Chains A and B, each alone.
Chain A
Amino acid sequence: MAITSEQVLHVARLARLEIPAGEIETVREQLGAILEAVSKVSELDLSDVEPTSHPLDLVNVWDEDEPRPSLAQEDALANAPDAAEGAFRVPSAR
Protein backbone atom coordinates (compact mmCIF):
# COMPACT_ATOMS: atom_id res chain seq x y z
CA MET A 1 0.00 0.00 0.00
CA ALA A 2 1.42 3.31 -1.06
CA ILE A 3 1.77 5.95 1.60
CA THR A 4 2.99 9.48 0.84
CA SER A 5 5.82 11.43 2.49
CA GLU A 6 3.20 13.92 3.71
CA GLN A 7 1.31 11.09 5.45
CA VAL A 8 4.56 9.86 7.00
CA LEU A 9 5.28 13.31 8.39
CA HIS A 10 1.72 13.70 9.65
CA VAL A 11 1.83 10.35 11.48
CA ALA A 12 5.31 11.11 12.83
CA ARG A 13 4.04 14.37 14.28
CA LEU A 14 1.08 12.62 15.89
CA ALA A 15 3.56 10.06 17.32
CA ARG A 16 5.94 12.82 18.44
CA LEU A 17 8.86 11.51 16.39
CA GLU A 18 11.24 13.93 14.67
CA ILE A 19 12.23 12.07 11.50
CA PRO A 20 15.41 13.54 10.00
CA ALA A 21 14.78 14.64 6.38
CA GLY A 22 17.21 12.04 5.05
CA GLU A 23 15.29 9.13 6.58
CA ILE A 24 11.74 9.95 5.51
CA GLU A 25 11.99 7.87 2.33
CA THR A 26 13.22 4.75 4.19
CA VAL A 27 10.43 5.06 6.75
CA ARG A 28 7.90 5.56 3.94
CA GLU A 29 9.04 2.42 2.11
CA GLN A 30 9.10 0.19 5.21
CA LEU A 31 5.77 1.43 6.50
CA GLY A 32 4.23 0.94 3.05
CA ALA A 33 5.47 -2.67 2.87
CA ILE A 34 4.15 -3.51 6.34
CA LEU A 35 0.82 -1.79 5.66
CA GLU A 36 0.44 -3.83 2.51
CA ALA A 37 1.01 -7.03 4.47
CA VAL A 38 -1.40 -6.16 7.30
CA SER A 39 -4.07 -4.93 4.87
CA LYS A 40 -4.79 -8.63 4.39
CA VAL A 41 -7.35 -8.30 7.21
CA SER A 42 -9.58 -6.30 4.86
CA GLU A 43 -10.09 -9.38 2.63
CA LEU A 44 -12.64 -10.72 5.11
CA ASP A 45 -16.23 -9.53 5.36
CA LEU A 46 -16.70 -9.28 9.12
CA SER A 47 -19.46 -6.70 9.33
CA ASP A 48 -21.54 -9.06 11.52
CA VAL A 49 -18.66 -10.06 13.84
CA GLU A 50 -18.21 -8.28 17.18
CA PRO A 51 -14.73 -6.86 17.86
CA THR A 52 -12.59 -8.33 20.67
CA SER A 53 -10.60 -5.83 22.69
CA HIS A 54 -9.68 -8.14 25.56
CA PRO A 55 -9.19 -11.91 25.74
CA LEU A 56 -11.06 -12.42 29.03
CA ASP A 57 -14.70 -11.76 29.65
CA LEU A 58 -14.20 -9.33 32.55
CA VAL A 59 -16.70 -6.58 33.21
CA ASN A 60 -16.46 -3.84 35.83
CA VAL A 61 -13.64 -5.01 38.06
CA TRP A 62 -14.06 -2.96 41.23
CA ASP A 63 -11.75 -2.37 44.15
CA GLU A 64 -12.35 -0.80 47.54
CA ASP A 65 -11.71 2.94 47.38
CA GLU A 66 -9.26 3.09 50.26
CA PRO A 67 -6.21 5.31 50.57
CA ARG A 68 -2.95 3.39 50.36
CA PRO A 69 0.66 4.51 50.63
CA SER A 70 2.03 5.68 47.30
CA LEU A 71 5.38 6.91 45.99
CA ALA A 72 7.11 9.58 48.03
CA GLN A 73 7.75 12.78 46.10
CA GLU A 74 11.50 12.27 46.10
CA ASP A 75 11.06 8.74 44.72
CA ALA A 76 8.73 9.98 42.01
CA LEU A 77 11.36 12.52 40.99
CA ALA A 78 14.35 10.19 41.40
CA ASN A 79 14.61 9.35 37.68
CA ALA A 80 13.67 12.77 36.30
CA PRO A 81 16.08 14.17 33.70
CA ASP A 82 15.49 17.57 35.32
CA ALA A 83 13.61 18.47 38.49
CA ALA A 84 13.32 21.52 40.71
CA GLU A 85 11.25 22.51 43.73
CA GLY A 86 9.51 19.14 43.89
CA ALA A 87 8.42 19.21 40.26
CA PHE A 88 9.54 17.98 36.85
CA ARG A 89 11.23 20.79 34.93
CA VAL A 90 10.78 20.96 31.15
CA PRO A 91 11.54 23.48 28.38
CA SER A 92 8.76 26.03 27.96
CA ALA A 93 5.79 25.19 25.79
CA ARG A 94 5.40 27.58 22.90
Chain B
Amino acid sequence: MIDTLRLTAEAAAGLLERGEVSPEELSAAYLAAVEERDGELHAYLHVVGEVGPGVPIALKDCITTRGVPTTAGSRILERYVPVFDSTVAARCKGAGLPLIGKTNMDEFAMGSSTENSAYGPSHNPWDPERVPGGSSGGSAAAVAGGLAPWALGSDTGGSIKQPAALCGLVGLRPTYGTVSRYGIVAFASSLDQVGPITKTVRDNAWLYSIIAARDPRDSTTVELSEPVELPTAESLKGIRIGVPREMSEAEGIEPGVTESVRRAIALAEELGAEVGETSLPRSVDYGLACYYLIAPSEASSNLARYDGVRYGHRAEGATDLLDMYMRTRWEGFGAEPKRRIMLGTYALSAGYYDAYYGQAQRVRTLISREFAAAFEQYDLLVSPTSPTVAFRIGEKAESPLAMYLSDVLTIPPNMAGLPGLNIPCGLSEGLPVGLQLVGPQFSENLLFRAGHALERAIGFDFVPERLR
Protein backbone atom coordinates (compact mmCIF):
# COMPACT_ATOMS: atom_id res chain seq x y z
CA MET B 1 0.00 0.00 0.00
CA ILE B 2 1.54 3.30 -1.12
CA ASP B 3 0.84 6.21 1.24
CA THR B 4 0.67 9.02 -1.30
CA LEU B 5 0.15 11.60 1.45
CA ARG B 6 3.56 10.91 2.92
CA LEU B 7 5.55 9.75 -0.11
CA THR B 8 8.12 12.31 -1.29
CA ALA B 9 9.32 12.35 -4.89
CA GLU B 10 12.74 11.20 -3.73
CA ALA B 11 11.20 8.25 -1.87
CA ALA B 12 8.99 7.43 -4.85
CA ALA B 13 12.06 7.36 -7.10
CA GLY B 14 13.70 4.98 -4.62
CA LEU B 15 10.71 2.62 -4.75
CA LEU B 16 10.85 2.61 -8.56
CA GLU B 17 14.62 2.12 -8.71
CA ARG B 18 14.59 -0.80 -6.33
CA GLY B 19 11.70 -2.35 -8.21
CA GLU B 20 9.54 -2.36 -5.07
CA VAL B 21 6.81 -0.56 -6.96
CA SER B 22 6.12 -0.67 -10.69
CA PRO B 23 5.36 2.51 -12.70
CA GLU B 24 1.83 1.13 -13.21
CA GLU B 25 1.32 0.68 -9.46
CA LEU B 26 2.64 4.15 -8.68
CA SER B 27 0.42 5.81 -11.28
CA ALA B 28 -2.56 3.79 -10.04
CA ALA B 29 -1.92 4.87 -6.44
CA TYR B 30 -2.20 8.55 -7.43
CA LEU B 31 -5.30 7.91 -9.54
CA ALA B 32 -6.87 6.15 -6.55
CA ALA B 33 -6.04 9.14 -4.33
CA VAL B 34 -7.55 11.48 -6.94
CA GLU B 35 -10.65 9.28 -7.01
CA GLU B 36 -10.87 9.37 -3.23
CA ARG B 37 -10.18 13.03 -2.49
CA ASP B 38 -10.37 15.23 -5.57
CA GLY B 39 -14.15 15.45 -5.31
CA GLU B 40 -13.50 17.43 -2.14
CA LEU B 41 -10.31 19.25 -3.14
CA HIS B 42 -10.90 20.01 -6.85
CA ALA B 43 -7.16 20.23 -7.39
CA TYR B 44 -7.36 18.99 -10.99
CA LEU B 45 -9.05 20.35 -14.09
CA HIS B 46 -8.02 17.37 -16.26
CA VAL B 47 -6.76 14.01 -15.09
CA VAL B 48 -4.56 12.11 -17.54
CA GLY B 49 -2.96 9.35 -15.48
CA GLU B 50 0.04 8.61 -17.70
CA VAL B 51 2.38 5.78 -16.78
CA GLY B 52 6.11 6.38 -17.15
CA PRO B 53 9.49 5.39 -15.78
CA GLY B 54 9.91 8.44 -13.50
CA VAL B 55 8.05 10.07 -10.63
CA PRO B 56 4.56 11.22 -11.72
CA ILE B 57 3.91 14.97 -11.79
CA ALA B 58 1.02 17.44 -11.89
CA LEU B 59 1.30 20.56 -14.04
CA LYS B 60 -0.53 23.84 -13.56
CA ASP B 61 -3.03 24.37 -16.34
CA CYS B 62 -1.19 27.36 -17.82
CA ILE B 63 1.63 24.99 -18.85
CA THR B 64 1.01 23.99 -22.45
CA THR B 65 0.77 20.22 -22.95
CA ARG B 66 0.45 18.72 -26.41
CA GLY B 67 -2.81 16.82 -26.82
CA VAL B 68 -3.94 17.61 -23.27
CA PRO B 69 -6.41 20.47 -22.64
CA THR B 70 -4.76 23.66 -21.36
CA THR B 71 -7.30 26.22 -20.17
CA ALA B 72 -5.34 28.43 -17.75
CA GLY B 73 -8.52 28.36 -15.66
CA SER B 74 -10.41 30.36 -18.29
CA ARG B 75 -13.61 29.74 -20.24
CA ILE B 76 -12.02 31.48 -23.20
CA LEU B 77 -9.71 28.42 -23.57
CA GLU B 78 -12.34 25.85 -22.58
CA ARG B 79 -11.92 23.57 -25.59
CA TYR B 80 -8.31 24.41 -26.40
CA VAL B 81 -6.08 21.38 -26.99
CA PRO B 82 -2.50 22.48 -27.72
CA VAL B 83 -0.64 21.12 -30.73
CA PHE B 84 2.77 21.62 -29.10
CA ASP B 85 4.51 21.15 -25.74
CA SER B 86 5.87 23.93 -23.58
CA THR B 87 9.60 23.57 -22.93
CA VAL B 88 9.02 22.69 -19.25
CA ALA B 89 6.46 20.00 -20.18
CA ALA B 90 8.95 18.62 -22.72
CA ARG B 91 11.72 18.62 -20.10
CA CYS B 92 9.49 16.72 -17.66
CA LYS B 93 8.72 14.21 -20.42
CA GLY B 94 12.40 13.97 -21.25
CA ALA B 95 13.12 13.12 -17.62
CA GLY B 96 10.51 10.36 -17.78
CA LEU B 97 7.98 12.05 -15.48
CA PRO B 98 4.47 10.87 -16.41
CA LEU B 99 1.68 13.45 -16.25
CA ILE B 100 -0.99 12.84 -13.61
CA GLY B 101 -3.03 15.81 -14.72
CA LYS B 102 -3.44 19.55 -15.09
CA THR B 103 -4.19 21.55 -11.97
CA ASN B 104 -6.70 24.27 -11.21
CA MET B 105 -5.67 27.91 -11.00
CA ASP B 106 -7.00 31.43 -10.85
CA GLU B 107 -7.92 32.46 -14.38
CA PHE B 108 -4.73 33.42 -16.26
CA ALA B 109 -2.92 33.19 -12.87
CA MET B 110 -4.69 36.33 -11.68
CA GLY B 111 -5.56 35.75 -8.06
CA SER B 112 -4.40 34.43 -4.71
CA SER B 113 -7.01 31.78 -3.88
CA THR B 114 -8.11 29.87 -7.05
CA GLU B 115 -11.53 31.46 -6.54
CA ASN B 116 -11.01 33.25 -9.85
CA SER B 117 -10.93 29.94 -11.72
CA ALA B 118 -13.78 29.74 -14.23
CA TYR B 119 -14.17 26.12 -13.13
CA GLY B 120 -14.68 26.74 -9.40
CA PRO B 121 -12.20 26.96 -6.52
CA SER B 122 -9.82 24.32 -5.18
CA HIS B 123 -9.95 23.52 -1.48
CA ASN B 124 -7.14 23.46 1.08
CA PRO B 125 -6.32 19.89 2.20
CA TRP B 126 -5.71 21.22 5.75
CA ASP B 127 -9.26 22.59 5.88
CA PRO B 128 -11.50 22.23 2.83
CA GLU B 129 -13.51 25.30 3.84
CA ARG B 130 -10.41 27.36 3.19
CA VAL B 131 -8.55 28.37 0.04
CA PRO B 132 -5.28 26.66 -0.93
CA GLY B 133 -3.90 30.05 -2.00
CA GLY B 134 -3.21 30.94 -5.58
CA SER B 135 -2.85 31.24 -8.32
CA SER B 136 -1.09 27.82 -8.29
CA GLY B 137 -3.58 26.59 -5.68
CA GLY B 138 -4.51 23.44 -7.58
CA SER B 139 -0.87 22.34 -7.72
CA ALA B 140 -0.44 23.02 -3.98
CA ALA B 141 -3.71 21.26 -3.07
CA ALA B 142 -2.70 18.26 -5.23
CA VAL B 143 0.68 17.85 -3.50
CA ALA B 144 -0.54 18.53 0.07
CA GLY B 145 -3.56 16.27 -0.47
CA GLY B 146 -1.43 13.35 -1.70
CA LEU B 147 -2.80 13.59 -5.25
CA ALA B 148 0.69 14.20 -6.70
CA PRO B 149 4.19 13.74 -5.26
CA TRP B 150 5.25 17.06 -6.77
CA ALA B 151 3.96 19.68 -9.17
CA LEU B 152 4.87 22.71 -11.22
CA GLY B 153 3.26 26.08 -10.68
CA SER B 154 3.92 29.54 -12.05
CA ASP B 155 4.60 32.71 -10.11
CA THR B 156 4.10 36.30 -11.22
CA GLY B 157 3.42 38.12 -7.95
CA GLY B 158 3.62 35.20 -5.51
CA SER B 159 1.58 32.45 -7.14
CA ILE B 160 3.98 29.64 -6.14
CA LYS B 161 5.27 30.91 -2.80
CA GLN B 162 1.88 31.90 -1.35
CA PRO B 163 -0.05 28.65 -2.08
CA ALA B 164 2.97 26.65 -0.88
CA ALA B 165 2.80 28.67 2.35
CA LEU B 166 -0.94 28.15 2.77
CA CYS B 167 -0.69 24.38 2.13
CA GLY B 168 2.45 23.64 4.19
CA LEU B 169 4.74 22.93 1.22
CA VAL B 170 8.04 23.98 -0.27
CA GLY B 171 7.69 26.32 -3.24
CA LEU B 172 10.41 27.93 -5.32
CA ARG B 173 9.95 31.00 -7.44
CA PRO B 174 13.21 30.78 -9.42
CA THR B 175 15.37 33.67 -10.56
CA TYR B 176 13.74 35.27 -13.59
CA GLY B 177 15.28 33.76 -16.72
CA THR B 178 16.35 30.39 -15.33
CA VAL B 179 13.23 28.49 -16.47
CA SER B 180 11.81 28.75 -19.97
CA ARG B 181 8.49 30.52 -20.50
CA TYR B 182 8.03 28.98 -23.96
CA GLY B 183 4.52 27.56 -23.99
CA ILE B 184 3.47 29.11 -20.68
CA VAL B 185 0.16 30.94 -21.06
CA ALA B 186 1.46 34.48 -20.66
CA PHE B 187 0.26 36.84 -17.94
CA ALA B 188 3.02 39.42 -17.26
CA SER B 189 6.09 38.50 -19.28
CA SER B 190 8.70 40.42 -17.28
CA LEU B 191 7.57 38.63 -14.10
CA ASP B 192 6.19 35.17 -15.00
CA GLN B 193 8.36 32.24 -13.91
CA VAL B 194 7.63 28.52 -13.56
CA GLY B 195 8.81 26.66 -10.47
CA PRO B 196 8.36 23.52 -8.34
CA ILE B 197 5.91 22.89 -5.49
CA THR B 198 7.07 19.93 -3.40
CA LYS B 199 6.97 18.34 0.05
CA THR B 200 10.69 18.77 0.76
CA VAL B 201 13.49 21.13 -0.18
CA ARG B 202 15.47 18.27 -1.73
CA ASP B 203 12.54 17.35 -3.99
CA ASN B 204 12.32 21.00 -4.92
CA ALA B 205 15.99 21.24 -5.86
CA TRP B 206 15.72 18.05 -7.89
CA LEU B 207 12.68 19.23 -9.88
CA TYR B 208 14.30 22.64 -10.38
CA SER B 209 17.37 20.89 -11.82
CA ILE B 210 15.08 19.17 -14.35
CA ILE B 211 13.36 22.32 -15.60
CA ALA B 212 16.04 25.01 -15.35
CA ALA B 213 18.04 25.62 -18.52
CA ARG B 214 18.58 28.15 -21.24
CA ASP B 215 16.06 27.69 -24.04
CA PRO B 216 16.67 28.98 -27.56
CA ARG B 217 12.89 29.42 -27.80
CA ASP B 218 12.84 31.92 -24.92
CA SER B 219 15.38 34.69 -25.41
CA THR B 220 14.94 35.81 -21.80
CA THR B 221 16.50 32.60 -20.47
CA VAL B 222 20.12 32.25 -19.41
CA GLU B 223 22.56 29.42 -18.69
CA LEU B 224 22.80 28.51 -14.99
CA SER B 225 26.14 29.70 -13.60
CA GLU B 226 26.53 26.51 -11.52
CA PRO B 227 24.81 23.11 -11.51
CA VAL B 228 21.91 22.61 -9.09
CA GLU B 229 23.03 20.79 -5.95
CA LEU B 230 20.80 18.56 -3.84
CA PRO B 231 21.22 20.05 -0.35
CA THR B 232 22.65 17.98 2.50
CA ALA B 233 23.90 20.63 4.94
CA GLU B 234 22.44 20.78 8.42
CA SER B 235 24.22 23.93 9.55
CA LEU B 236 23.78 27.57 8.65
CA LYS B 237 27.25 28.50 9.82
CA GLY B 238 28.66 31.51 8.02
CA ILE B 239 25.34 32.50 6.42
CA ARG B 240 24.25 36.06 7.12
CA ILE B 241 20.47 36.41 7.29
CA GLY B 242 18.79 39.80 7.17
CA VAL B 243 15.31 40.46 8.51
CA PRO B 244 13.81 43.42 6.65
CA ARG B 245 11.94 45.47 9.22
CA GLU B 246 9.16 46.53 6.84
CA MET B 247 8.47 42.93 5.88
CA SER B 248 8.04 41.87 9.50
CA GLU B 249 5.93 44.85 10.45
CA ALA B 250 3.76 45.17 7.34
CA GLU B 251 0.11 45.87 8.01
CA GLY B 252 -2.13 42.83 8.26
CA ILE B 253 0.41 40.21 9.40
CA GLU B 254 -1.39 37.88 11.80
CA PRO B 255 0.19 37.46 15.27
CA GLY B 256 0.37 33.68 14.80
CA VAL B 257 2.34 34.18 11.58
CA THR B 258 4.74 36.63 13.25
CA GLU B 259 5.28 34.22 16.15
CA SER B 260 5.97 31.22 13.93
CA VAL B 261 8.40 33.18 11.74
CA ARG B 262 10.15 34.59 14.84
CA ARG B 263 10.73 31.04 16.12
CA ALA B 264 12.16 29.96 12.75
CA ILE B 265 14.55 32.91 12.80
CA ALA B 266 15.68 31.95 16.34
CA LEU B 267 16.28 28.40 15.06
CA ALA B 268 18.37 29.79 12.21
CA GLU B 269 20.57 31.50 14.78
CA GLU B 270 20.91 28.25 16.72
CA LEU B 271 22.02 26.58 13.48
CA GLY B 272 24.86 29.08 13.23
CA ALA B 273 23.44 31.84 11.03
CA GLU B 274 24.32 35.45 11.79
CA VAL B 275 20.98 37.23 11.97
CA GLY B 276 20.51 40.99 11.82
CA GLU B 277 17.91 43.57 10.96
CA THR B 278 17.81 45.39 7.64
CA SER B 279 15.50 47.73 5.83
CA LEU B 280 13.72 47.98 2.47
CA PRO B 281 12.10 51.35 3.10
CA ARG B 282 10.12 51.75 -0.11
CA SER B 283 9.95 48.22 -1.58
CA VAL B 284 7.14 47.05 0.67
CA ASP B 285 5.35 50.38 0.82
CA TYR B 286 5.29 50.89 -2.96
CA GLY B 287 5.72 47.32 -4.23
CA LEU B 288 2.05 46.47 -4.46
CA ALA B 289 1.13 49.64 -6.37
CA CYS B 290 4.12 49.12 -8.69
CA TYR B 291 3.07 45.52 -9.36
CA TYR B 292 -0.57 46.39 -9.99
CA LEU B 293 0.50 48.77 -12.73
CA ILE B 294 3.20 46.69 -14.40
CA ALA B 295 1.49 43.28 -14.31
CA PRO B 296 -1.90 44.48 -15.65
CA SER B 297 -0.17 46.59 -18.32
CA GLU B 298 1.72 43.56 -19.59
CA ALA B 299 -1.41 41.42 -19.22
CA SER B 300 -3.51 43.80 -21.30
CA SER B 301 -1.03 43.34 -24.12
CA ASN B 302 -0.56 39.56 -23.67
CA LEU B 303 -4.29 38.85 -23.46
CA ALA B 304 -4.97 40.73 -26.69
CA ARG B 305 -4.38 37.41 -28.47
CA TYR B 306 -7.72 36.00 -27.27
CA ASP B 307 -9.81 37.35 -30.10
CA GLY B 308 -11.89 34.35 -31.19
CA VAL B 309 -9.92 33.89 -34.42
CA ARG B 310 -7.24 31.23 -34.01
CA TYR B 311 -8.30 29.31 -30.92
CA GLY B 312 -10.61 29.48 -27.94
CA HIS B 313 -14.09 30.82 -27.48
CA ARG B 314 -15.90 32.82 -30.20
CA ALA B 315 -19.19 34.66 -29.56
CA GLU B 316 -22.11 33.54 -31.73
CA GLY B 317 -23.99 35.74 -34.17
CA ALA B 318 -21.60 38.67 -34.47
CA THR B 319 -22.57 41.32 -37.01
CA ASP B 320 -18.98 42.10 -38.00
CA LEU B 321 -15.36 41.48 -36.98
CA LEU B 322 -15.13 44.18 -34.29
CA ASP B 323 -18.45 43.07 -32.80
CA MET B 324 -17.09 39.50 -32.73
CA TYR B 325 -13.88 40.57 -30.93
CA MET B 326 -15.71 42.65 -28.34
CA ARG B 327 -18.42 40.15 -27.50
CA THR B 328 -16.03 37.16 -27.56
CA ARG B 329 -13.72 38.82 -25.05
CA TRP B 330 -16.50 40.02 -22.74
CA GLU B 331 -18.07 36.53 -22.72
CA GLY B 332 -14.84 34.56 -22.51
CA PHE B 333 -12.93 36.37 -19.77
CA GLY B 334 -13.93 36.30 -16.11
CA ALA B 335 -14.23 39.38 -13.90
CA GLU B 336 -10.60 39.56 -12.71
CA PRO B 337 -8.89 39.34 -16.12
CA LYS B 338 -11.33 41.94 -17.44
CA ARG B 339 -10.52 44.22 -14.50
CA ARG B 340 -6.81 43.88 -15.13
CA ILE B 341 -7.09 44.28 -18.89
CA MET B 342 -9.04 47.50 -18.31
CA LEU B 343 -6.53 48.74 -15.72
CA GLY B 344 -3.57 47.89 -17.93
CA THR B 345 -5.11 49.41 -21.03
CA TYR B 346 -5.80 52.60 -19.08
CA ALA B 347 -2.27 52.70 -17.61
CA LEU B 348 -0.75 52.33 -21.11
CA SER B 349 -3.12 54.72 -22.89
CA ALA B 350 -2.10 58.07 -24.35
CA GLY B 351 -1.76 60.73 -21.67
CA TYR B 352 -1.43 58.30 -18.77
CA TYR B 353 1.57 56.18 -19.79
CA ASP B 354 4.26 58.25 -18.05
CA ALA B 355 2.28 58.83 -14.86
CA TYR B 356 1.38 55.18 -14.39
CA TYR B 357 3.42 52.61 -16.34
CA GLY B 358 6.53 54.78 -16.68
CA GLN B 359 6.49 55.75 -13.01
CA ALA B 360 5.95 52.10 -11.96
CA GLN B 361 9.01 51.08 -13.99
CA ARG B 362 11.06 53.66 -12.07
CA VAL B 363 9.72 52.33 -8.76
CA ARG B 364 10.86 48.92 -9.98
CA THR B 365 14.41 50.24 -10.33
CA LEU B 366 14.20 51.60 -6.78
CA ILE B 367 13.08 48.21 -5.44
CA SER B 368 15.99 46.44 -7.19
CA ARG B 369 18.43 48.95 -5.68
CA GLU B 370 17.05 48.47 -2.17
CA PHE B 371 17.43 44.70 -2.39
CA ALA B 372 20.95 45.07 -3.85
CA ALA B 373 21.89 47.28 -0.88
CA ALA B 374 20.51 44.72 1.59
CA PHE B 375 22.52 41.95 -0.11
CA GLU B 376 25.74 43.90 0.46
CA GLN B 377 25.30 43.04 4.15
CA TYR B 378 23.37 39.79 4.03
CA ASP B 379 23.39 36.55 2.03
CA LEU B 380 19.66 35.92 2.46
CA LEU B 381 16.60 37.80 3.62
CA VAL B 382 13.71 36.24 5.52
CA SER B 383 10.11 37.25 6.15
CA PRO B 384 6.68 35.69 6.32
CA THR B 385 5.54 34.57 2.86
CA SER B 386 1.88 35.42 3.36
CA PRO B 387 0.58 37.83 5.99
CA THR B 388 -2.14 35.34 6.88
CA VAL B 389 -2.77 31.62 7.06
CA ALA B 390 -5.31 30.12 4.62
CA PHE B 391 -8.48 32.22 4.63
CA ARG B 392 -12.04 31.01 4.17
CA ILE B 393 -13.45 30.53 0.70
CA GLY B 394 -15.50 33.63 -0.06
CA GLU B 395 -13.86 35.75 2.64
CA LYS B 396 -12.01 38.06 0.22
CA ALA B 397 -13.82 37.24 -2.99
CA GLU B 398 -15.85 40.46 -3.02
CA SER B 399 -12.90 42.81 -2.55
CA PRO B 400 -10.19 42.76 -5.21
CA LEU B 401 -7.97 45.08 -3.16
CA ALA B 402 -8.13 42.90 -0.01
CA MET B 403 -7.17 39.90 -2.14
CA TYR B 404 -4.23 41.81 -3.66
CA LEU B 405 -2.77 42.28 -0.15
CA SER B 406 -2.13 38.51 0.07
CA ASP B 407 0.94 39.11 -2.08
CA VAL B 408 2.31 42.20 -0.32
CA LEU B 409 5.41 40.31 0.90
CA THR B 410 6.06 38.16 -2.17
CA ILE B 411 5.78 40.97 -4.73
CA PRO B 412 8.82 43.12 -3.82
CA PRO B 413 11.48 40.43 -4.49
CA ASN B 414 9.60 39.36 -7.63
CA MET B 415 9.82 42.90 -9.02
CA ALA B 416 13.62 42.64 -8.71
CA GLY B 417 13.73 39.23 -10.47
CA LEU B 418 14.97 37.56 -7.26
CA PRO B 419 14.49 33.91 -6.36
CA GLY B 420 12.37 33.10 -3.31
CA LEU B 421 11.79 29.85 -1.47
CA ASN B 422 8.84 29.16 0.81
CA ILE B 423 9.31 26.58 3.50
CA PRO B 424 6.66 25.71 6.10
CA CYS B 425 7.75 26.92 9.54
CA GLY B 426 4.90 25.93 11.84
CA LEU B 427 1.18 26.13 12.47
CA SER B 428 -1.07 28.95 13.55
CA GLU B 429 -4.66 28.05 14.44
CA GLY B 430 -3.91 24.59 13.05
CA LEU B 431 -2.97 25.96 9.63
CA PRO B 432 0.48 26.13 8.00
CA VAL B 433 2.62 29.26 8.15
CA GLY B 434 5.23 29.89 5.45
CA LEU B 435 8.69 31.40 5.73
CA GLN B 436 10.00 33.27 2.69
CA LEU B 437 13.75 33.05 2.01
CA VAL B 438 14.98 35.49 -0.63
CA GLY B 439 18.44 35.54 -2.17
CA PRO B 440 20.28 37.46 -4.88
CA GLN B 441 19.71 36.45 -8.50
CA PHE B 442 20.96 32.90 -9.24
CA SER B 443 21.38 32.00 -5.54
CA GLU B 444 19.07 28.96 -5.73
CA ASN B 445 21.75 26.61 -4.36
CA LEU B 446 22.13 28.79 -1.28
CA LEU B 447 18.35 28.96 -0.84
CA PHE B 448 18.11 25.17 -1.04
CA ARG B 449 21.01 24.73 1.41
CA ALA B 450 19.56 27.11 3.98
CA GLY B 451 16.01 25.86 3.37
CA HIS B 452 17.06 22.26 3.87
CA ALA B 453 18.93 22.97 7.13
CA LEU B 454 15.98 24.94 8.48
CA GLU B 455 13.46 22.35 7.30
CA ARG B 456 15.28 19.64 9.25
CA ALA B 457 15.49 21.78 12.37
CA ILE B 458 11.82 22.83 12.18
CA GLY B 459 10.60 19.28 11.60
CA PHE B 460 7.28 20.33 10.06
CA ASP B 461 4.96 17.43 9.15
CA PHE B 462 3.62 18.14 5.66
CA VAL B 463 0.71 15.70 5.92
CA PRO B 464 -2.40 17.72 6.83
CA GLU B 465 -3.44 16.92 10.40
CA ARG B 466 -6.98 15.84 9.51
CA LEU B 467 -5.64 13.30 6.98
CA ARG B 468 -3.00 11.66 9.21
To the question of whether A and B form a pair in one complex, the answer is: yes
Cβ-defined partner of B177 (8 Å) among A33, A56, A80: A56
CB of B321 within 8 A of CB of A93, answer yes
Q: What is the CA–CA distance of A57 and B55 in the complex, to the nearest angstrom?
A: 36
Name A residues whose Cβ lies closer than 8 Å to a Cβ of B. 3, 7-8, 11-20, 27, 30-31, 33-35, 37-44, 46, 49-56, 58, 61, 63, 71, 75-76, 78-82, 88, 90-94
For residue B222, which residue of chain A has the nearest CB?
A56
Q: What is the CA–CA distance of A28 and B39 in the complex, to the nearest angstrom?
A: 38
Interface string of B298-342 (1 = CB under 8 A from A): 001000100111111110001111111111011001000011011
Min CB gap A8→B, angstroms: 8
CB of A52 within 8 A of CB of B320, answer no
* Majority secondary structure, B binding face: helix
Q: What is the CA–CA distance of A84 and B304 in the complex, to the nearest angstrom?
A: 23
Report the contact-size class of chain B (Cβ under 8 Å from the partner).
Answer: 35 or more
Asked if B365 is at the interface of the complex by the 8 Å CB criterion, the answer is yes
Q: What is the CA–CA distance of A34 and B368 in the complex, to the nearest angstrom?
A: 24
Q: What is the CA–CA distance of A89 and B346 in the complex, to the nearest angstrom?
A: 31
CB of A18 within 8 A of CB of B329, answer yes
CB of A55 within 8 A of CB of B290, answer no
Q: What is the CA–CA distance of A71 and B183 in the complex, to the nearest angstrom?
A: 14
CB of B290 within 8 A of CB of A27, answer no
The segment out of B80-88, B104-112, B194-202 that lies at the interface is B80-88
In the complex, which residues of chain A have a beta carbon less than 8 angstroms from the beta carbon of B345? 11, 14-15
CB of A17 within 8 A of CB of B329, answer yes
In the complex, which residues of chain A have a beta carbon less than 8 angstroms from the beta carbon of B333? 17
Asked if B13 is at the interface of the complex by the 8 Å CB criterion, the answer is no
Cβ-defined partner of A33 (8 Å) among B80, B307, B359, B401: B401
CB of B364 within 8 A of CB of A51, answer yes
CB of A16 within 8 A of CB of B365, answer no
Q: What is the CA–CA distance of A88 and B310 in the complex, to the nearest angstrom?
A: 7
Asked if B468 is at the interface of the complex by the 8 Å CB criterion, the answer is no
CB of A55 within 8 A of CB of B321, answer no
Interface core residue of B220, B290, B323, B342 (most chain A CB under 10 Å): B342
